[in-house]
Amino acid sequence: MADYDQLPAPLRSWLAQAALPWSPRSALRVWHRSLRACDGDLSAAKQIMTIREFERLKSDRIAIWEQY
């Protein structure tokens, strides 16, 4: 929990609505990549995080349904 508490506030607010259970370490790693990709724009970084999460959910869905 201490790791989560040390995350930047905008990232914590994004994680509060996330669909996946991100670890603080992986969330912070993707957050930093997202911020670099959009030159520090917090809103754009949150959008990138949402897109990455959606892509992960999509690939998980495909992997699950391929089994049936």
Mean pLDDT of 1-30: 95
C-alpha 30/C-alpha 37 separation (Å) is: 10
Whether pLDDT at 26 is above 90: yes
Between 66 and 54, the higher pLDDT residue:
54
pLDDT, averaged across the chain: 91
Whether pLDDT at 47 is above 80: yes
For the chain, domain boundaries: 2-65
